[in-house]
A = this chain, B = another copy of it.
Amino acid sequence: MKYNILVVEDHSDISSIVSKYLDSEGYDNFVAKDGFEALEYFNSHECHLVILDIMMPGINGFEVLLEIRKTSDIPVIMLTAKTEEIDRLHGFDTGADDYVVKPFSVKELMKRVKAMLKRTYHEADEIIYSYKDLRLHTKSMKLYKEDKDVELTAVEFNLLFTLFKNKGQVLSREQLIDLSFGTNYEGYDRNIDSYIKRIRQKIEDDPKNPELLVMKYGAGYVFGGNE
């Protein structure tokens, strides 16, 4: 699952570091410089978590949080400059989910983000996708074909996983990369061809004439959907 995180922070030095780290952890993210921009983005995009500075010019963090809470239970991590009494009480009332006090280590913040996302969205439950004679087990990262065990590498697993999730849809190479490896994947479109090739050798009865994982000329690939 690909998460999108909204960072609201007026100091660009801080926000750029946070954003960089979020990227490297594979999270999509958007930086808003003030409360106004934040709410505008929040109301028009899907977000899974908000990192929200309290001290900001214009609308402050609390007001943004209040506004968000009118429509959403999204997890919010507040950045507080000081352990001020006022901040604390305010935070209680407005319903932030966690606090990180400045100065903070980005690593610590990432840890909290990760923990919060996991807690909120219950990731990593065992899901078994199946199609025809294939069964994909998410926890063991294994694929079974006619009850026979097929070993997948991490890359193959991720790619096949997104194909399973979007069964019957034509996905461009670019889409496959974004969904499987994140937008910051450095590498070239045609690598997908290689991965597909390897996956086919593992799942197709006749890899030369693929039936499960089919190419759509000039567009990309489709998994399944030919009944």
Contacts and interface: CB of A to CB of B under 8 A. Distances in A.
Nearest to A224: B140
A219 B219 CA distance: 30
A141 interface: yes
A168 B144 CA distance: 14
A216 B141 contact: yes
Nearest to A153: B217
* Number of identical monomers bound together in the oligomeric complex: 2
A140 B222 CA distance: 8
Contacts of A88: 14, 102-103
A157 B104 CA distance: 33
A88 B101 CA distance: 11
Contact of A169 (B13, B83, B140): B140
A161 to B, nearest CB: 12
A139 interface: yes
A108 interface: yes
A118 B139 CA distance: 27
A138 to B, nearest CB: 9
B154 A219 contact: yes
A140 B103 contact: no
A157 B222 CA distance: 15
B99 A104 contact: yes
Contacts of A197: none
A99 B103 contact: yes
Nearest to A171: B139
A70 interface: no
A121 interface: no
Interface of A: 13-14, 17, 80-83, 87-89, 91-92, 96-99, 101-108, 111, 115, 126, 139-142, 149, 153-155, 157, 168-170, 183, 216-219, 222, 225-226
